[in-house]
Structures are given as structure tokens and as C-alpha cells.
Amino acid sequence: MNKITILIHCKDQPNIIASVTNFIAEKGGNIVYIDQHVDREQNIFFMRLESEFFSEAFSTEAFKITFKDSLAEKFGMKWRIYSSEVKPKMALFISKYDHCLYDLLGRYNSGELNLEIPFIVSNHNDLKFIADNFKIPFYHIPVTKDTKTEAEEKQLELLEKYDINFIVLARYMQIVSGKLINKYPNKIINIHHSFLPAFVGAKPYHSAYKRGVKIIGATSHYVTEELDAGPIIEQDVAHVSHTHSINDLIAKGRDLEKIVLANAVKLHSNRKVMVYNNKTVIFS
Amino acid sequence: MNKITILIHCKDQPNIIASVTNFIAEKGGNIVYIDQHVDREQNIFFMRLESEFFSEAFSTEAFKITFKDSLAEKFGMKWRIYSSEVKPKMALFISKYDHCLYDLLGRYNSGELNLEIPFIVSNHNDLKFIADNFKIPFYHIPVTKDTKTEAEEKQLELLEKYDINFIVLARYMQIVSGKLINKYPNKIINIHHSFLPAFVGAKPYHSAYKRGVKIIGATSHYVTEELDAGPIIEQDVAHVSHTHSINDLIAKGRDLEKIVLANAVKLHSNRKVMVYNNKTVIFS
Amino acid sequence: MNKITILIHCKDQPNIIASVTNFIAEKGGNIVYIDQHVDREQNIFFMRLESEFFSEAFSTEAFKITFKDSLAEKFGMKWRIYSSEVKPKMALFISKYDHCLYDLLGRYNSGELNLEIPFIVSNHNDLKFIADNFKIPFYHIPVTKDTKTEAEEKQLELLEKYDINFIVLARYMQIVSGKLINKYPNKIINIHHSFLPAFVGAKPYHSAYKRGVKIIGATSHYVTEELDAGPIIEQDVAHVSHTHSINDLIAKGRDLEKIVLANAVKLHSNRKVMVYNNKTVIFS
Amino acid sequence: MNKITILIHCKDQPNIIASVTNFIAEKGGNIVYIDQHVDREQNIFFMRLESEFFSEAFSTEAFKITFKDSLAEKFGMKWRIYSSEVKPKMALFISKYDHCLYDLLGRYNSGELNLEIPFIVSNHNDLKFIADNFKIPFYHIPVTKDTKTEAEEKQLELLEKYDINFIVLARYMQIVSGKLINKYPNKIINIHHSFLPAFVGAKPYHSAYKRGVKIIGATSHYVTEELDAGPIIEQDVAHVSHTHSINDLIAKGRDLEKIVLANAVKLHSNRKVMVYNNKTVIFS
């Protein structure tokens, strides 16, 4: 049995759903999941389908070609088709904070994540022992003002060598360059430790403390060239009070960061996120 | 333009989605919403569609007949089809508590609810003035142990006279009989002031206080003959602490009850709820 | 029996708690509530006490004088002492939105609020009928660019005539002037329909929609001269998704606004809020 | 500088607060935290204080004796006094689930927890490698129906040998005996994977799925002889829907269990929990 996931978006127009579902039925597929969304302001149609094919002759690549030639061109679709057999490959970028790293690796180990982690890269050597414990290759690529470009070249080599599909910045404390972003558009996931758009930039817990907010948050988003302004994938918050010091906010925030980043990673690796107009459509 | 909503459930089997979407396309309809769910344990398929028909010749009644004869019989579907033009009619049953009543009528007045409220009935006369303020007919039908059957007859008369589609018990402090429940299966919505299945029955806030829980809740569910055991539509909770007295729990709970009941009413009146096996499928 | 509430803040220094509790014991009072907070950054001590006095000779005014002369001067305290018998008087400022109004009046009617509402004032006449229903005096003071100063004079007259203690802007759609703010410092409560500091200013739901946030919020704060930048009293949030239109955000937001404002009103009227450095200390 | 924490409960009566704060002032202490609670139903007074003593001559043991002889006897207090220098010692009981273990050890490592973990004990050997990674002694004590008593003897030996103050059952899949419970009353913390009192006993996620709840939860409580009925320390919940399978509930639940258990451990180890009448008073 072959199972594929189809993501489509195009200008909204009549009969898209019937045409796609009919096409799949003709090819011998059974639809096991369908969801769609129409952005009424932009007049854009989004759809996500999962379909099973029981014929031994089925080939995902052949299906893609026919899909492109018949449907996609007719409706002017942007589309992606994934075989469920192929798990996406995720590179982990870290610095010195270990909470998101432990959290993601714990989930990875327990089989909760539908992905592979070919390697971990860090600008520091401090957390190498955790990568070792979980038996994941670890690369130490230091980054200084002078070596930034060179370091990024090394990162890019690794990303290509391991055929990486998406990158997760698990509290990686460096700003990634436009070159990397353009090479992985909407494929670099960051965790920012505030409920964006509040407290963009550095030290958001300090800003939250100063402003006296009663709620702190964390936001996972795709990285774009404008700092902390990319499409938001997931957000969550926690209540705080005047009794919490900055350190308390940081500690409470760690729990938010872990869960928000893990959820964003799950959504992305399960191909449930579509991006349009700097916003996300998140399928269930 | 005619817009209809279709709700379907049947044994899961191949090609349901393609057949239904194709059928609608053939009849000249454009699907503007589709969502489905498969209960893998019970092997049951659920689907909700919204479709627009632009032909002046379109008739919902004629569509229903063709749908029944062709699709519904072939797949063994249970189905309901609603015209968006017809708002469901809701009867409000109340006693002496006014918070859910004010909340629902405030939303009704502001146009937030897709329904009509032909009348309010109560076993007490205390809140008649609120019905009057909102200009909704009010019936006072007292209920005592001896007059229970007779009172229910009067209620049934009103329900039929006004052609009521569903009933909301907005903190109505009487147990409704099996006769009424069977006449309105999965059409009587109750609000219970606990996170069911905890604290079934009377005085749940007192039980919550005694048990020392750190969270209280409210649950909106369809009424079945077993007390507080019907299919759950919506639940929400609030954090509490040792500093809260029973009266504090009751006050905090009122806010939960209002919002949980209002959400359940919206889901039901927008035809987003399907019931199977004493559980609900809630479409988005 | 007389019951008083004491709020104190001063530079942190040894023996404040023992001195105050001792002082109350000497005057024959029994402390039934005590809570304190120290802002370690600013080195400021905050305390809230409730104390009962059973002697018939007790006078709150006499207590205040002794307290001031002995304790307050010694420790350099800023302090307020309230008799529990005196409910604070709240003026309601509204425009055309009715949801916060209905919510507050419903709570007021049910005895949930420890305050009096001597009057409601609005720059429109639309909601007069609600004030009438609840039998609360209603004043229509239109505000135009030209009549703004004059209108505010009329408002000030009313506030003085009714001896108002604090003002609630229940979605009042006018910016209040510095004159009013300075007359009622930390005594004007506003409800802003975003999780501040995100989306300051007009149309926050539109901005939230545009930014594609996954969480919306509401914030109740004291009004200061800088727009939406005053001390935050209470915040809450709700999860949203790409399926929500701007109107859906507005509707969901109404529920947040009601509850957040009501909670802020309760905290203020129960004398549980202290303000320092543009932040609030909220006692439980 | 010496810092102590004092926990008191006794029959409510006048002048407790003034007497205690005065006593501390006389002994040269400065109170840096005070909170109290009165259970009006049971007429019980609870208080928690933190106090700093700057005299070099101060001795916690001597203070305890004077406190007992003067204050405690006079007011009939039950009391505990802890020196902040002494971290409580916590034994971790585990089986095969690793999520709470990883979570607690990650926090322990990062310095978030005010406690020591002298050893981990398990009825299985599967997770020994994690204990090894974190360099914590690990004891494998298998438990079968026949060896239950004997196994518990070994556990008790370890608990005494390491001078353990409290026990955390981090998804330990054995029921502990009355003997152990009586030896560590209100000192054994369990994490139950439902919002108690709903779904007591085994397989709560299966029961939650069957009942069709829209919210799942986790509860941390002290272990008493009645199963899942001990005093609740902390609870939290997450929203779920019909789309979640039992496995989804289990995965979502893991995140709840981790955070709820970690919070309960922090509250207990910071001496912020008092138990009375099978309920907890949780100080902030």
C-alpha cells in the first residue's frame, strides 16, 4: 500500500475539490483525509489530502507527473506531493541552552516524531555530550564576527551532504543569513521566547518583566529576513504575576518554548503547514 | 444563490468523498467547505460539506430526493441536508439563574447566533422581566412532583406549536423525562457545572470544594436518559486554589457555564455536530 | 464589628511586618488577611492587610490618624486604609458596544460586585435602554472634535456630584484627556482588545489577523497619558487559527474583553491592586 | 545569614499573626515572606513565613525549641521549621516510561530544582542508562506478586540509608503499600494521568477516549491508602477533539504529566504545601 500527502494552493475557482477527488479516484486512490481552506480576502484556495493506493503498479513519481500535467496546470496550482514512506530530514542548530534539545531528542527517541535527525550543529561545544548520549553526529562550528560567512559555508555543506529538508533553531543564538534563508524558504523553524509580535528581538523576558505583563508566551515561526517577523506556526502562553522575577519568567518560559517548538516541528514534519502571505494555514 | 450544508455518516468504504463531491459538481454546486473524519475503531465515516448552487432552478427539496435515491442508498448513509436560509428554532428552558439567559440573549441581540428563539419557558416566574426586556414570549409552567407529567404536556404543545428544532436547558433545574428526550434525540442541550465525568449530579461545586481540586469546569452535552452521561459537545475549565470558597467556585463557574453553553449552542445551530456512539464529532 | 483594609508601600527595611501586626494587635484588631511583596530590583515593600476590630469604640478615622503619626511616618509609608462598609463608587463610560455593559450590569445585579454604580455616561444614546432596564441613571454627553473640552467638563461635574471613586471605560470609544487622567490617577480602568504590548492603538483584531497570530488577547489596564501603555491589571487570551475571519476574532474577543474587564473591576473594587513604576502588584 | 521557613497550622484564634511576627522580631529576625489562609468551614488557620536572621549566634535548632515552648504550645500549633540551607532529599521511583524522568533530570541538571536526588529505583532495568548518563545511582528492585513485600523492604532500606525526605513516583507502575505510605505520610508524590476525580485507576486515557471528553488532564497528588484519592497538589489540562486517537491522547498527556509533576515537586521541595483534611493549601 502506498500513501501520499498532497498540498495544493491556487486561486479560488469552482470545482477544484471535485476535480481533485475525482482524479484520485480514477487513479485507484482512496481519500482518507481531506481538508481545505479559502482565504476570502485574498481569494486563495488551500487543500490538503491524504490518499492510499493499493495497486502494486502505483508510483508516486508517475502520479506527480500526471497530476502536474492534467490538474495542476489547468487550475494554476502550486503543489507538493509527499510519499508517507519518506520521513523528512531535520538538522538541529543549537548553542548552549539544553531544554529544547533534551525535549526534542526525548520525543525523537520515543518515536513521537515523524522525522530523522542526521546531525546536530552548534557554535559551542558545551552540549556535545547530549548528542553523544543520543548517538547523533555532532558538529562544532564556532561563529565569530569574522568567521560568520565561512561558518555558514560549512553549515551549508553539511545541509547538502545530509540532504536536509528543514532546519530547527532550538534556541540557536545566532542570526542566520539571507543566503541560508533563501536556500530554505519556510523551512527554517525558530522558537522565539515571547508571544510575537510583542517583544521582538533580544531579551524578551526582561522586556516582559519591565512592562509588567500578566502573561508570557513563546512563538514558533519560519525564519525570514526580517527579524522575528516570519509566518507564525504555533504560540502558547502562561500566566504570570508580580511575584515572578525575571529568572522565574525564564524558567516558566522554558516549558513554553519546549512545547511550542515541539508542536511546530510535528506540524511541519507531518506536512500540515502551508504558507501564504507571511501567514500559515495549519491543517488538523 | 442557494447554500446547503450536508452531514453524512456511514460505514467507511472507498470512494465516498469522490462520489459525493462528483455528485455535487454534476448538480452544478461548488463546494466551499469539506471536512471528514473516520472513526478507525468503529470504522465509521463522517463528512460535512457546504455547497453553493447558483442556478435559479435549484431546489433543496429536489436535491434531497436525488441525493437519497442515488448516493445515500448506495453507501448506506445516514444524512441530513439543511438550507442555510432556514435558521433553526431554539426553545430556552430556564429556572431562576439568570447568567446563561443574559449571556445567550445578549449574543442573540447582537446577531452573533444563527438561530431564532420563539419562546422562553420557565418553572418559575422570576426571570419573566428579562424575557420581556428582550421582547421574547415567556411561558410560566410550574412543575411540582404531582404536576410534572401535565407540565411536560404543556411544554410539548409549545414545542410543536412553535415548530422548535432544539431545546437549550440554560440552568433549568428540573430533570426532563424520557418522553421529551426521545422526541428530541440529541436535540436537547444541557449545561452541567463540572468537567464531566467528574462530579455527576447535584451540587458539583460543593463536591469540587470538598475534593480539593485545583481546576473546576463546565460541560455542555446532549441530554440522554442517563443523568449527565450524554454526548459531550464542549468543555472548559478554570484554575482555582485553596483560597476559593464554595461561593467563589460558583461565581467563577458562572463564567465557564456561559461560554461553554454559548459555544455548544453555536456549534449545534451551525450544524457542526454529529453524534455517534454517545460521542460527538465537532466540525470546525 | 468593623473591618478595614490597609495597603502600604515603602522602602524595604527590617521589622515592617512585625511593627504593623503589633500595632494592629495593640489597637485590639485581629488580622484576618495578610500578604506582602518585595520588589527586589526597586527595593520596595508592599503589604495588604485586612483586620477586624470588635470594640464599639473603634473608629476608622481615629485609627488612620494614629497609624499615620506612629507607623507611617517612621517607615516613610505611602498608605491607604478603607472601611469595608464603604463600597467604592464606579462610573461607567460607554459608547455603542453593549457586551461589556451587559456583562458588568449582570454581575452587579447578581450581587457579585462590591461597588455601586451611581450613573452611566455615553457619547451616544443607543444603549440608554439598557441603563433604563437596570434602573441606573444615564447621561448622554455627545463628544465631537469641537465639544471635547466642554463634554469633559460635564463629565467632571457628574463625577464630582456623585462622588465617584473610579471610572471604567467599558469600550468607550474616546481618548480621555490628561486633565481627567490626572484627576483620577490609577483610577480609570480601560479594556484594550489585544494582549498588550502587542497591537497598541486602533483596530487590534485587524492587526492580529494580518500578522497571522495563533492567539488573541485582551488587556485591562489603568489609563495613563501614553496610549495603551498604563499599568496592566489583568490579561487573558484565546487560541485562534487560520479559519477565523476578522469578524470571528472580534466575536471571540468579546468574550475575553468581558471577563478580563470584570476581573479587573473586581480586583480594583476589592482594593487588591497597588501600582508602582507603571506596574501592578495584585494581591490574592 | 540564616534563613528559615516556618509552616504553622492550628485552630483559628485572635492574635496569631501578631504573636508570631513579634516573636520573630524579638529573636532578631526579619520577615521576608508571610502568607496565611483561614479555612472558614473548619476554622483552621494556616501560615507560612520566611525569615532571615543575621546574628552569628543564631541556631535553627535553638529557635525551634524556643518556638515550641513559647508559641506553639500556647496556640496549640502543628508546625515545621526548615533551614533554607538544607535541601530536601528526593527518591525517584520509575518503571519503563522515560518522559517524566528526562524532564525531572533535565530540570535538576539545570539547577531549577531545590533538592537532591540521591538515587533512582526501578522495578525494571530499562532506564538504567538514563540514570547513568545523569550520574545518579540506580537500583533495580524487581517486583512480582510473590516478591512484593521483600522488594518493599529493600526500598525502605534504601530510603533510610540515604535519609530520604520525600518520594516521587514518576510513572512508577506499582501500587505502594500502606506500610510505605504510613512511613512517608504526605511525602509520596504521584502523577496520575487524568483530571481527578475523573478516571480513577488504570488506563484513564482509554476511559477518556471512550467517554468522548473534550479535555484531558493530569493530577499530581500525595499518595494515600485509597487509590488516586489523596490530597491534590497540582492539576492541568489540554483540549482534545474527536480527531485524537487514544495514542494521541497519550502523547498529549505526556506533556501534561511532565509539567504537572515538575510543578508539584517544586512546590513540595520549596515547602509551600500544607495538607489538611485530605486537601492542600498551596502557598505562592
List, for residues A11-70, the tens digit of each pLDDT value.
999 999 999 999 999 999 999 999 999 998 899 999 999 999 999 999 999 999 999 999
Class of domain D89-282: alpha beta
Q: Pick B232's closest partner by Cβ from D199, D214, D280.
A: D214
Taking all residues of chain D, what is their mean pLDDT, rounded to a whole number? 96
CA distances C122 to A165, C97, C116, Å, are 58, 11, 18
Listed range (A229-233, B183-187, C265-269, D143-147) with the worst mean pLDDT: D143-147
Mutate which of A1, A17, A22, A31 to disrupt the B interface (most B C-beta within 10 Å)?
Answer: A17
Residue range C251-274: mean pLDDT, rounded: 97
Residue A98, chain D, CB below 8 Å: the answer is: yes
Q: Pick D106's closest partner by Cβ from A102, A243, A284.
A: A102
CA distances D251 to A220, A266, B195, D99, Å, are 20, 12, 21, 10
Percentage of chain D with pLDDT > 70? 100
Instruction: Give all strands of the β-sheet with B78-83 in edge-to-edge order.
Output: A78-83, A2-11, A44-53, A29-39, B29-39, B44-53, B2-11, B78-83
Q: What pLDDT, on the 0 to 100 scale, is given for residue C49?
A: 97
Judge whether residue A221 has pLDDT over 90: yes
- pLDDT one-digit tens code per residue, D90-123: 999 999 999 999 999 999 998 999 999 999 999 9
CA distance B251 to C169: 23
What residues of C are in contact with residue D32 (Cβ under 8 Å)? 38
- pLDDT one-digit tens code per residue, D178-209: 999 999 999 999 999 999 999 999 999 999 99
CA distance C177 to C95: 17
Kindly state the cell numbers that stand for A223.
Answer: 525564519
Under the banding of pLDDT at 50, 70 and 90, the label for residue A130 is very high
The answer to whether the Cβ–Cβ distance between D255 and A259 falls below 8 Å is: yes
- Segments of chain B with pLDDT less than 70: none
Q: Which residues of B are catalytic?
A: 228
Angle D88-D91-D95 from CA coordinates, rounded to 5°? 155
Domain ranges of chain C: 2-83, 89-282
CA distance D2 to D84: 8
D249-255, long-range: CB < 8 A, 24+ apart: D249/D205, D249/D208, D249/D209, D249/D216, D250/D205, D251/A112, D252/D216, D253/D193, D253/D205, D253/D216, D253/D218, D254/D99, D255/A259
Parallel, antiparallel or unpaired: strands D78-83 and D2-11: antiparallel
Judge whether residue C189 has pLDDT over 90: yes
Residue D52, chain A, CB below 8 Å: the answer is: no
CA distance A129 to A47: 43
Closest CA of chain B from A15, distance in Å: 6
Phi, psi of D27 (to 5 degrees): -80, 5
Query: Beta-strand (E) ranges in chain A?
Result: 2-11, 29-39, 44-53, 78-83, 89-94, 116-122, 138-140, 166-169, 188-192, 215-222, 232-239, 273-276, 279-282
Q: What pLDDT, on the 0 to 100 scale, is given for residue D88?
A: 98
CA distance C66 to C56: 17
Q: What pLDDT, on the 0 to 100 scale, is given for residue D110?
A: 87
Mutate which of B38, B207, B215 to disrupt the D interface (most D C-beta within 10 Å)?
Answer: B215
SS (H, E, C) chain B: CEEEEEEEEEECCCCHHHHHHHHHHHCCEEEEEEEEEEECCCCEEEEEEEEEECCCCCCHHHHHHHHHHHHHHHHCCEEEEEECCCCCEEEEEECCCCHHHHHHHHHHHCCCCCCEEEEEEECCCCCHHHHHHCCCCEEECCCCCCCHHHHHHHHHHHHHHCCCCEEEECCCCCCCCHHHHHHCCCCEEEEECCCCCCCCCCCHHHHHHHHCCCEEEEEEEECCCCCCCCCEEEEEEEECCCCCCHHHHHHHHHHHHHHHHHHHHHHHHCCCEEEECCEEEECC
CA distances A44 to A38, A76, A236, Å, are 6, 11, 27
What residues of A are in contact with residue D110 (Cβ under 8 Å)? 98-99
Instruction: Give all strands of the β-sheet with B188-192 in edge-to-edge order.
Output: B138-140, B116-122, B89-94, B166-169, B188-192, B215-222, B232-239
Under the banding of pLDDT at 50, 70 and 90, the label for residue C146 is very high
CB C45 within 8 A of CB C9: yes
Cis previous bond, D197, omega within 30:
yes
The answer to whether the Cβ–Cβ distance between A110 and D133 falls below 8 Å is: no
Specify the residue for cell string 504570570. Answer: A240
Under the banding of pLDDT at 50, 70 and 90, the label for residue A110 is confident
CB D125 within 8 A of CB D132: no
Q: What pLDDT, on the 0 to 100 scale, is given for residue C110?
A: 87
CA distance C215 to C194: 10
Residue range A178-193: mean pLDDT, rounded: 97
Closest CA to D170 of D238, D108, D249: D108
ipTM of the complex: 0.95
The answer to whether the Cβ–Cβ distance between C98 and B112 falls below 8 Å is: no
Residue B14, chain A, CB below 8 Å: the answer is: yes
CB C195 within 8 A of CB C237: yes
CA distance A127 to C10: 45
Q: What pLDDT, on the 0 to 100 scale, is given for residue D222?
A: 98
What residues of D are in contact with residue B217 (Cβ under 8 Å)? 195, 215
Give helix B99-109 / helix C99-109 axis angle, nearest 10°.
160
Judge whether residue C75 has pLDDT over 90: yes
Specify the residue for cell string 546536530. Answer: A120
Q: How many residues does chain D have?
A: 284
- pLDDT one-digit tens code per residue, A242-268: 999 999 999 999 999 999 999 999 999
Does the active-site annotation cover D228? Answer: yes
Class of domain A2-83: alpha beta
B161-166, long-range: CB < 8 A, 24+ apart: B162/B89, B162/B91, B162/B118, B162/B119, B163/B89, B163/B118, B164/B89, B164/B90, B164/B91, B164/B118, B165/B88, B165/B89, B165/B90, B166/B88, B166/B89, B166/B90, B166/B91, B166/B268, B166/B269
CB C220 within 8 A of CB C254: no
Kindly state the cell numbers that stand for D197.
Answer: 476525580
Q: Which positions ≥6 away from A11 have C-beta within 8 Å?
A: A43, A44, A45, A75, A76
Among positive and negative, which fits the CA dihedral A262, A263, A265, A266? positive
Q: Pick B110's closest partner by Cβ from C98, C109, C243.
A: C98
Residue range D52-64: mean pLDDT, rounded: 95
CA distance C213 to A192: 13
Kindly state the cell numbers that stand for B259.
Answer: 461560554
Burial class (CB in 10 A: 0-12, 13-18, 19+), A125: exposed
CA distance B151 to B175: 12
Query: Residue A262 half-sphere exposure, CB side, CA atoms within 13 Å?
Result: 22
Burial class (CB in 10 A: 0-12, 13-18, 19+), D243: middle
Cis previous bond, C197, omega within 30:
yes
Closest CA of chain A from D283, distance in Å: 12
Angle C166-C171-C175 from CA coordinates, rounded to 5°? 75
Judge whether residue D1 has pLDDT over 90: no
Q: Which positions ≥6 away from B63 have C-beta within 8 Å?
A: B4, B27, B53, B81
D119-122, long-range: CB < 8 A, 24+ apart: D119/D91, D119/D92, D119/D158, D119/D162, D120/D91, D120/D92, D120/D93, D120/D94, D121/D91, D121/D92, D121/D93, D121/D94, D121/D155, D121/D158, D122/D93, D122/D94, D122/D95, D122/D172
Give helix B16-26 / helix A16-26 axis angle, nearest 10°.
130
Kindly state the cell numbers that stand for A215.
Answer: 502573561
Under the banding of pLDDT at 50, 70 and 90, the label for residue C1 is confident
Touching subunits for chain C (3+ Cβ pairs under 8 A) = A, B, D
Closest CA to B28 of C254, C260, A18: A18
What is residue D250's DSSP assignment? Answer: H
What residues of B are in contact with residue C109 (Cβ under 8 Å)? 98
D220: left (phi over 0), alpha (psi -120 to 50) or beta: beta
Closest CA of chain C from B58, distance in Å: 29
Q: What pLDDT, on the 0 to 100 scale, is given for residue D185?
A: 97
Residue B133, chain C, CB below 8 Å: the answer is: yes
